[in-house]
Structure 1
Amino acid sequence: MSSPNELPPAIFLDPWLTAEGDGLKALSQTIAERVERQISSNLSQSARRDAISRRGLVVENLVANLAIMHLSPHLENRDLLAVATAKTKATRYDREDYPKRLLSGVVLAMEELGLLIRHPYAFRERSTTVAPTPDFAATIDRQRVKLSDIGRALGAETIWLNARTGEISFADRTPLKCRIEYQDTEETILLRDQMERINAYLNQSGFRFDGEHQGPVCLRRMFLLRSLSDPHSFNLSGRLFGGWWQELRSDRRHRITIGGERITDLDFQGAFCQLMYVHLTGKPFPGDPYAIEGLEDHRGGAKLAMLTLLSRRGDLKRLSPELKAALPRGWTAKRLMDAFTRHHPALRDAIGKDYGVELMATESRIMVELLLTLKARGIGAMPLHDGVQCAASSGGLVAEAMQEVTERVLSVALPVVEKPVVGQEWGYKEAA
């Protein structure tokens, strides 16, 4: 058995996935029947029928999760599925009709049938994780299961609220968070309605990878409280997560099409830094915010450094492993602080003040407003945190909408640029 530290990161079980296509339905039914034969029961006939139905739901959901993990291009080399089997009180984030207490037994039965490889729960290190056996993965392929065969039950929560616990991750020194149960208000109902409209629009926008549908889209907004004791509010972070294109490697994005067209990747130039400048000075930075002396060939490192400096509390005293790897050899926290404050003296007093989650809230508000604007105009676009991917023929219209929305939200239009997509040639470069 592998030790916990030797296992790659897992993706979390999505209890809302279902089998829709005939091939996946047939595979789920066959496995459910095998699971029932594996699990003996002394229940009455009516109780047994109920148990079979509920176990069948769990089997179908597990098979759908394993299929999407096996087939999705953005989950390449990620073949562990985390299945939390602990008995916990149901919250607004849970699927009400999902018989979670049956999950552990179904996982064990599927392991005994040679369908799963199971890695048991490790205290404070990981949930129970499973992976399809090579034979089961081959069965998914033989059944010609496609991502379009995977559906989604209605009702998943799209407005999430987390809180910092006050503890720090030992691995990367980031604040640990926990999920918060909250009561609905007019604000949360409005936020949820926006996401329902956005998700419906995204699912009708003709997104494809290598010409294949990639399964149902259900984005969620992730809000944050700085402390467990803070009143429940939805004015920090709020970024959109859950789109398969958000995790796709950049060198594979040229294989995306929207409505049959290649994509254009449009970005608010230096969005994070620009939002800080607008907040402090009322206008964007006049130039490239990431043209930091000494980091000309490490633009990714400059962007990560800006995010780090504006998102932390207190001075930066040491580089995280991720940031250190993104910077030139020999750079220290002090050298980084000095380089940034020389290029951005106006931001000197903003560093270390935990502005990041406030900037993300503004960024996400802009993105929601942009998506609703594009929906109204019938233009499909894939949201990233600080930009969108759209069909090439819509690039000019989308860039104009991006500037229009930022002017409406910020009273100033942010510059929009086109980012190169590896494997494509480009014409459009910058919005007027």
Structure 2
Amino acid sequence: MDQIASLAATSDHEDDERDRPFNAYRFASSDATKGIVGEAIRLLLNYEQRSGLTRNKRRAADQETFDLTVDAILSDLMHHHLVDYPGGIYVTRSNRWLGTKSRYRARPYSKVFPRILDLLAKPELGYVRQDIAAPIPGASKSTVILPGPTLLARMDDGDVDTDDLDEHPHSETVVLKRVKDTDNYWDEGGLEEYADTPATERYRAELDEINQWLAAADLRYDPLHLPGPHTAFDIRDRRLRRIFTQARFTSGGRMFGGFWQQLRKHERRQGLKIAGEKAVELDFGQVGARILYGMAGHLPAPGDLYQMHGYNQHRDGIKKVMSAMIFAERRLDRFPKDTRKLFRKTDRISEVVEAIEAKHPLINDQFHKGLGHGAQFIESSILVDVLLSLRAKGIVALPIHDAVLVPSSKVSVTKEVMLTAFNAHAHVQGTVTVEV
């Protein structure tokens, strides 16, 4: 997928082998890494001159962009290698993206980016290894890059570690995704440009407040005694962004980012400490279904909304199918992805859908209307409210979509805050479960 489009494609259950998007905000911050970048720039300029690739000296602004781009590429490759992420870093070479002004793109990610990348990948220089995507019409146009032998050697010589690298302040934390073209298999959704409004400015101000708070939080991670494999991450990666969907700021809005979202559940629960205490996860229960009841102006049915007669052993499947029914715009005629295995071989999707509708007669006319994105916006607004309320109480909380991680001693007050926020936004009572 294109780099710009990929910005919003992360989740809290990423495939461990997935290549990671290029971070154009990374830069060399120590003498050691500045020396590596400076040497690379000099070698590239000399190579251009010897090879006759440039006839005239660049303008000052163009040279500054050149230097920033080399710095960003090499710094992100060094960081990727030091953190030991699996796979490589994917970038785009698409002129359509790189040549267009966008609020989502950093200055180093410009139309000269592919040319600089090719220079760094010259065998004579050896700073970058790149696997350029085949030019298949309509297909993904990602190029994957890895550190080359020269860069790895310079890192060894300089004894470089992650403290030698830093990030410039990111540009856009309020991200808007356009409507996905369902007729185009290769369409990843992409990002939508937008003009700021009082609402987007408020969302950004809230995120700035939260991000500054989390950047200074006392977070520690000890993988000792945890079974492998261990997730690769940088504990300084704490910046959140809100991703809105369907080209509307009343759709989606979940917060993505933060190293804790990359961790497996057992890693979060056993290895993560907040303010010196064990991290405990509090989750909203049956969140999508309860919000749908609130949207329809009804009180939720008593008991477990996903527990149904005839499907007592298939609660996980009912939960996933019901969620799909809330998001779907037409009646389900097949089991959603990865749900067939959660039911008996004799179960039919039509029967499951009818059983869910019978269990929830007050909202059965709300299914298959595409209301899921709106429900998710309410969910995300609840989480923002929870974070800001906990911040005001001096309690560090790390969001994971419909859940938060807090210090073990703060479970009771956090649960109270979560239930209050849920009722205020969803207009029905919520439930919160504590997972230790």
Relative to the length of structure 1, the TM-score reads 0.81
| 1:316 match: secondary structure | coil
| Deviation at residue 355 of structure 1 after TM alignment | 0.9
Q: Of 119, 126, 129, which residue of structure 2 is paired with 1:117?
A: 129
Q: Which residue of 2 aligns with 1:221?
A: 242
Q: Does the CA contact (< 8 Å) of 1:205 and 1:381 recur in 2? A: no
Q: Does the CA contact (< 8 Å) of 1:295 and 1:328 recur in 2? A: no
Change (3 A) 1:339 1:383: same
Change (3 A) 1:320 1:77: farther
Q: Does 1:77 align with 2:86?
A: yes
Q: Which residue of 1 aligns with 2:260?
A: 245
Q: Of 192, 195, 206, which residue of structure 1 is paired with 2:207?
A: 195
| 2:363 match: secondary structure | helix
Q: Does the CA contact (< 8 Å) of 1:148 and 1:213 recur in 2? A: no
Q: Does 1:126 align with 2:140?
A: yes
Q: Of 207, 211, 218, which residue of structure 1 is paired with 2:219?
A: 207
Gaps of 5+ in 2: 1-16, 224-232
| Deviation at residue 327 of structure 1 after TM alignment | 4.8
Q: Which residue of 2 aligns with 1:167?
A: 182
Q: How many residues align?
A: 400
| Deviation at residue 116 of structure 1 after TM alignment | 3.0
Change (3 A) 1:310 1:147: farther
Q: Does the CA contact (< 8 Å) of 1:310 and 1:352 recur in 2? A: yes
2:21 corresponds to which letter in structure 1? F
Q: Does the CA contact (< 8 Å) of 1:219 and 1:242 recur in 2? A: yes
| Deviation at residue 139 of structure 1 after TM alignment | 6.4
Q: Which residue of 2 aligns with 1:255?
A: 271
1:153 corresponds to which letter in structure 2? H
Change (3 A) 1:285 1:111: farther
Gaps of 5+ in 1: 1-7, 227-232, 421-432
**Segment drifting more, 112-121 vs 210-219:** 210-219
1:343 corresponds to which letter in structure 2? K
| 1:351 match: secondary structure | coil
1:217 corresponds to which letter in structure 2? R
| Deviation at residue 346 of structure 1 after TM alignment | 3.2
**Segment drifting more, 36-45 vs 337-346:** 36-45
Change (3 A) 1:404 1:156: same
Q: Does the CA contact (< 8 Å) of 2:24 and 2:109 recur in 1? A: no
| 2:105 match: secondary structure | coil
Q: Of 164, 172, 175, which residue of structure 2 is paired with 1:157?
A: 172
**Segment drifting more, 356-365 vs 144-153:** 144-153
Query: What pairs up with 1:22-171 in 2 under 5 angstroms?
Result: 22-40=31-49, 42=54, 44=56, 47=58, 51-72=62-83, 76-86=85-95, 87-95=98-106, 97-98=107-108, 100-112=110-122, 113-121=125-133, 122=135, 123-133=137-147, 135=149, 145-154=160-169, 156-168=171-183, 170=185
| Deviation at residue 311 of structure 1 after TM alignment | 0.3
Could you list the per-position Cα deviations for residues 372-404 of structure 1 after superposition, in whole angstroms to 9, with x for gaps in the alignment? 111211211111110111122222221121112
Query: What pairs up with 1:385-404 in 2 under 5 angstroms?
Result: 385-404=401-420
| Deviation at residue 273 of structure 1 after TM alignment | 1.3
Q: Does the CA contact (< 8 Å) of 2:28 and 2:37 recur in 1? A: yes
Q: Which residue of 2 aligns with 1:16?
A: 25
Q: What is the alpha-carbon root mean square deviation over aligned residues?
A: 3.1
1:82 corresponds to which letter in structure 2? V
| 1:189 match: secondary structure | helix
State how far apart, in whole Å, the 1-side matches of 2:155 and 2:310 are: 50
Q: Does 1:306 align with 2:315?
A: no
Q: Does 1:185 align with 2:192?
A: no
| Deviation at residue 288 of structure 1 after TM alignment | 2.1
Q: Does the CA contact (< 8 Å) of 2:81 and 2:147 recur in 1? A: no
| Deviation at residue 164 of structure 1 after TM alignment | 0.9
| Deviation at residue 104 of structure 1 after TM alignment | 0.8
1:92 corresponds to which letter in structure 2? R
1:156 corresponds to which letter in structure 2? S
Query: What pairs up with 1:276-315 in 2 under 5 angstroms?
Result: 276-292=292-308, 300-315=316-331
**Segment drifting more, 348-357 vs 127-136:** 127-136
| Deviation at residue 198 of structure 1 after TM alignment | 1.2
| 1:39 match: secondary structure | helix
State how far apart, in whole Å, the 2-side matches of 1:259 and 1:31 are: 41
State how far apart, in whole Å, the 1-side matches of 2:299 and 2:213 are: 33
**Segment drifting more, 362-371 vs 85-94:** 85-94
Change (3 A) 1:362 1:39: same
Change (3 A) 1:118 1:190: same
Q: Which residue of 2 aligns with 1:3?
A: none
Q: Of 357, 368, 388, which residue of structure 1 is paired with 2:384?
A: 368
Q: Does the CA contact (< 8 Å) of 2:99 and 2:110 recur in 1? A: no
| Deviation at residue 180 of structure 1 after TM alignment | 1.8
Change (3 A) 1:153 1:43: farther
Change (3 A) 1:324 1:131: farther
Q: Which residue of 2 aligns with 1:322?
A: 338
State how far apart, in whole Å, the 2-side matches of 1:330 and 1:33 are: 68
| 1:160 match: secondary structure | strand
1:223 corresponds to which letter in structure 2? F
